[in-house]
Amino acid sequence: MNNDCLFCKIVYGDIPSYKIYEDEIVIVFLDINPDSNGHTLIIPKKHCLDMDDIPEETINHIFKVAKELKVRIDNKLNTDGLTFVQNNGEIQEVKHFHLHLKPYYKHNEIKSVKEIYEILKDRD
Catalytic residues: 98
C-beta of residue 121 within 8 angstroms of C-beta of residue 89: no
Q: How much is the mean pLDDT over the chain?
A: 94
| Interatomic CA distance for residues 13 and 92, integer angstroms | 22
Q: What is the pLDDT of residue 71?
A: 96
**Global confidence as pTM:** 0.93
Euclidean distance between CA atoms 30 and 79, whole angstroms: 16
34 against 123, higher pLDDT:
34
Structural domains in the chain, CATH included, are 6-120 (3.30.428.10)
